[in-house]
Chains A and B, each alone.
Chain A
Amino acid sequence: MNVLLSLGNDLASSIALRYLSQQAADFPMTIQPLHIEAEDKHFPLGTGWVKNTWKDTVVSSSEVEINNFIHNEIRFCRSLSPAITRIGDGEKQILKELQNGNYQLFAMGLLSSFSSKIFYNLLASKLITKSSCPVLLIKNLRDFKSVTILCKKGMNIKKLAREYLDMYGKASVDLQLLHVEPETDSEQVTRSEQVPVYLQEIGDALATEGCVPKILNTLTGPPQAIAEILKSQGMVVSSFNKTSDTKSPFFDILAYVPTPVLVFWS
């Protein structure tokens, strides 16, 4: 799996880099760090040769800075490619790299937030709406030992399961499949072993591929409380339909859960 990792010299990137390195130690993965230096930060002067020389200088000094950052964060990760450094608009440059490169996943650090606004703003951003690559939002540093696939009725769960298998099918993690019915007016979360037929079918399909879910449950309750329960997971996976899905209690769970979240697009 080829992963494009957006990297800055900041806390969120530090967490993202360390989390991905941990995943890479478990199964084959190539991590391509991409650092974008904002153009307006350096107030470019001149045109032509002067401007190009200035850009080259900024890129090379940023390259040194970001490589130092990587070496400070992790001692060695054989899956890590040398960082690419570009200058310009962050979203445009990432989209360009995703289009030109052969990436299966885009990863970035996104510090966990008390407000769901940051998560929804990201879903509405050009970076997400124009990219077809699944996105891994790394909110905290967690052990990658357990994964929950979060499902709801009407979701293209077969596609989600297929995509998950393609990426993480070889990972040795405890997998749980959850059908979730968020209730904003309730106070407690109830867990039931009664699951809808679709979830059972997907569980069986995953099992035939050698990826046996350990738990199949239905969770009912307020989104924040469900997110709290899921914080023990190493990663939470779900799917978002860019054309029809909007802010909802189901996606609030993904916004509030403090563990890394992998979002596929349907």
Chain B
Amino acid sequence: MKIIVAVDSNPYSGHVAHEVGKLAVNTWADITIMGVLSPLEDTAKARETLEQQLVKYRRIILDSYTSDSCPYNKDAVEQWEQTEDGYSMAATGGGLKQLQLVIAKGAAAQEILLYNQNSESDLIVISCDKDLGCSWQSGKVPMKVATEATCSVLVVKETKDPEQVVCCLDHDHVTQYSLEMINQLVTLYGAELKIVGISDSDSLKENIEQKMQQLLEYYNNLKLTPWLEVVDGATMPSFISKESQKNLVALWVGPTSFLNRFFPKKRISSFISDSPSSVLLLR
């Protein structure tokens, strides 16, 4: 699993490093902590500040490992190198898995999306500031990344851990990777799992029901007893709005996902912005 942790030098990004640290303990993922300098602020001092922040976030992730079983090289970062692609990069080889730091220069959202495309990462984890309407100080980066990315995106908000992970499934495209991602979050937060089937005028389509049944069996085999709930498509937005008050909502938003019917890009942006809890968009 490859994870990009998109950060800036504000406190909300520190929170995301803690969350990724917990996730990394279970997943042993290859992690890239990425910061972006805008051309306007590309001064030596700004660069140094961002470098220090990235090193700090790396330390937070490494400190999540309390035992000796850390898959990353724990040596201190000694120097930054310029790559041919124009990135400034710091990596300490030798570990079983990679934990590298990358600084790009340009528009934050575009650079994160471009790096994701080139590195073929599975997940982008990005934080956002609740007070700024889920934005970074440099703009609506989390929303742009969440809606435009080709991989899954976890938008982390600084709230207490969710009580439930609520999965609104696109029942035609549930991949093993998605299920594992959900399992990780359930474990990470010690949350309950709720599987939501979307019905059409109160009747649950046969393929949706079959998929729910398969998932129930899958999770039962993992000794998890998920809650099951049926939601009429027409009431989906109000359901999501209610659930996101306390719970982490996971939505499938792939190009052929039927959830796109209820959550077009614009609505996803406002959902991410309004949701008091973290949001996972699965692709």
Binding site for B on A (CB under 8 A): 10-11, 14-15, 111-115, 117-118, 139-142, 231, 258
A11-B212, A14-B213 known; A141 and B225 CB under 8 Å? yes
A10-B209, A11-B209, A11-B212 known; A111 and B204 CB under 8 Å? yes
**Chain A residue with Cβ nearest B208:** A11
Most chain B CB within a 10 A radius of its CB, from A10, A11, A115? A11
CA distance A192 to B213 in the complex (A): 40
Closest Cβ–Cβ distance, residue B96 to chain A (whole Å): 39
Set of chain B residues within 8 Å of A111, measured between Cβ atoms = 197, 204, 228-230
**How many chain B residues touch A (Cβ–Cβ < 8 Å)?**
17
Set of chain B residues within 8 Å of A139, measured between Cβ atoms = 228
**Chain B residue with Cβ nearest A114:** B231
Set of chain A residues within 8 Å of B212, measured between Cβ atoms = 11
Interface residues of B in 198-213 (CB under 8 A from A): 202, 204, 209-210, 212-213
Across the interface, do A114 and B204 meet the contact criterion of CB distance under 8 Å?
no
Interface residues of B in 165-219 (CB under 8 A from A): 197, 202, 204, 209-210, 212-213, 216
CA distance A115 to B212 in the complex (A): 19
Across the interface, do B213 and A140 meet the contact criterion of CB distance under 8 Å?
no
Across the interface, do A113 and B216 meet the contact criterion of CB distance under 8 Å?
no
CA distance A4 to B53 in the complex (A): 65
Q: Which of B209, B216, B225, B230 contacts A114 (CB 8 A)?
A: B230
CA distance A118 to B231 in the complex (A): 11
1/0 per residue B41-76: CB within 8 Å of A? 000000000000000000000000000000000000
Across the interface, do A140 and B202 meet the contact criterion of CB distance under 8 Å?
no
Across the A-B interface, the 5 shortest Cβ-Cβ residue pairs: A114-B231, A11-B213, A112-B229, A111-B230, A113-B230
CA distance A258 to B239 in the complex (A): 15
Across the interface, do A117 and B202 meet the contact criterion of CB distance under 8 Å?
yes
CA distance A142 to B229 in the complex (A): 14
Across the interface, do B232 and A115 meet the contact criterion of CB distance under 8 Å?
yes
**B119 CB within 8 Å of chain A:** no
Across the interface, do A115 and B202 meet the contact criterion of CB distance under 8 Å?
yes
Set of chain B residues within 8 Å of A14, measured between Cβ atoms = 213, 216
CA distance A139 to B202 in the complex (A): 15
Across the interface, do B225 and A113 meet the contact criterion of CB distance under 8 Å?
no
Q: Which of B197, B202, B210, B213 contacts A118 (CB 8 A)?
A: B202
A and B contact pairs by CB, cutoff 8 A, 13 listed? A14-B216, A111-B230, A112-B229, A113-B202, A113-B229, A114-B231, A115-B202, A115-B231, A115-B232, A117-B202, A118-B230, A140-B227, A258-B229
CA distance A141 to B215 in the complex (A): 13
Set of chain A residues within 8 Å of B239, measured between Cβ atoms = 114
Most chain A CB within a 10 A radius of its CB, from B216, B230, B235? B230
Set of chain A residues within 8 Å of B210, measured between Cβ atoms = 11
Interface of A, secondary structure class, is loop
Set of chain A residues within 8 Å of B232, measured between Cβ atoms = 113-115
CA distance A140 to B194 in the complex (A): 11
CA distance A11 to B228 in the complex (A): 10
Set of chain B residues within 8 Å of A10, measured between Cβ atoms = 209, 213
Closest Cβ–Cβ distance, residue B242 to chain A (whole Å): 8
Set of chain A residues within 8 Å of B209, measured between Cβ atoms = 10-11
Across the interface, do B235 and A115 meet the contact criterion of CB distance under 8 Å?
yes
Across the interface, do B230 and A142 meet the contact criterion of CB distance under 8 Å?
no
Set of chain B residues within 8 Å of A118, measured between Cβ atoms = 202, 230
CA distance A66 to B37 in the complex (A): 63
Closest Cβ–Cβ distance, residue B238 to chain A (whole Å): 8
CA distance A187 to B209 in the complex (A): 34
Across the interface, do B228 and A112 meet the contact criterion of CB distance under 8 Å?
yes
CA distance A252 to B232 in the complex (A): 17
Closest Cβ–Cβ distance, residue A84 to chain B (whole Å): 23
Set of chain B residues within 8 Å of A112, measured between Cβ atoms = 227-230
CA distance A118 to B202 in the complex (A): 8
Closest Cβ–Cβ distance, residue B108 to chain A (whole Å): 37
Other than the known A112-B228, A115-B231, A141-B225, what 6 A-B pairs have Cβ atoms closer than 8 Å? A11-B210, A15-B228, A114-B229, A114-B235, A115-B235, A118-B202
Set of chain A residues within 8 Å of B230, measured between Cβ atoms = 111-114, 118
Set of chain A residues within 8 Å of B204, measured between Cβ atoms = 11, 111
**Chain A residue with Cβ nearest B234:** A115
CA distance A105 to B235 in the complex (A): 33
A11-B216, A14-B213 known; A113 and B231 CB under 8 Å? yes
Set of chain A residues within 8 Å of B231, measured between Cβ atoms = 113-115
Set of chain B residues within 8 Å of A115, measured between Cβ atoms = 202, 231-232, 235
Set of chain A residues within 8 Å of B235, measured between Cβ atoms = 114-115
**Chain A residue with Cβ nearest B229:** A112
Closest Cβ–Cβ distance, residue B165 to chain A (whole Å): 15
Set of chain B residues within 8 Å of A113, measured between Cβ atoms = 202, 229-232
Set of chain A residues within 8 Å of B202, measured between Cβ atoms = 113, 115, 117-118
